[in-house]
Every structure is written in C-alpha cells, then in structure tokens.
Structure 1
Amino acid sequence: MAESRLNIRISPQKKEAFYEKVKQEGKNATDVLIDLIDQYLGIKAQSGEILELKQRVEKLEEALLGEAAA
C-alpha cells in the first residue's frame, strides 16, 4: 500500500511535550498518531481506560437524571 505524508502545525512546546511523552512510554511518534487517527475514524477501538471512564460517566448521568426526575 502506498503511504503519504501528513504535515501539521503545532507550537514548539506542544511538539516537545509530545515527543517527550512518546519517549517516556517507549513508543514511536508515528505509531501513536496513527493509533489516534484510527480511533477517531472508528477503525480501532478505544483503550479500555477510556471505555471504563465512559461507562462511569453514563452511570453518573443516569443517577443524576433519575434523582432530578423524582
């Protein structure tokens, strides 16, 4: 499959912070960005941590809406 290049503009501080975090996690910047794009497009499932947080928010919303309706 042919690949293409994507250029983005971000602040130097944000770029440095991104590369530092990638390095700390032992990851590759390109792989991290591709994973994020895949998640955004719905090609790849979100991490378990994000799914867990979404479920917790849904439960809290149900509890709050249930109390407000009573």
Structure 2
Amino acid sequence: IAQAHVCRSLARSAERRCQQLNAIEPLAGVGLAYINRLSDLLFVVARLIAKRQGVTEILWQPATKPEV
C-alpha cells in the first residue's frame, strides 16, 4: 500500500515538472494527460490493495475552519 502511494507521489511530482516544462516549451501528444491518469490509477491501486488486505485506511479530513 505504501509503495503504491510513494509511486503516486512520484507521478504527481513528475506531472508538476512536466507542467512547468510545458509552460516553457509545449509538449506534444497526450503526455500530460497520461501522467495525470497514472497518478489517479496508483491512488486507486493503493486503495484496492488496502481493501483486499483488510487494512483500514485513514481517510483525509478537511481541517476545521477557525471561527472569526
């Protein structure tokens, strides 16, 4: 599970770098869309592995907004 999340994190980092490069020199093809979908796939894979192994994951909760 952790390895899938590490791979997802690396894919997201690569996606951000590709977006920076694309701003300077446009990238041809569907590379940006592919790498975005790759990170999505790796997230789903991590969740699927956890479910099959019976591991309860800690789900993200938004921070509570401070009262003004």
TM-score by length of 2: 0.34
Highest RCO, 1 vs 2 (Cα 8 Å, sep ≥ 6): 2
Rg larger in structure? 1
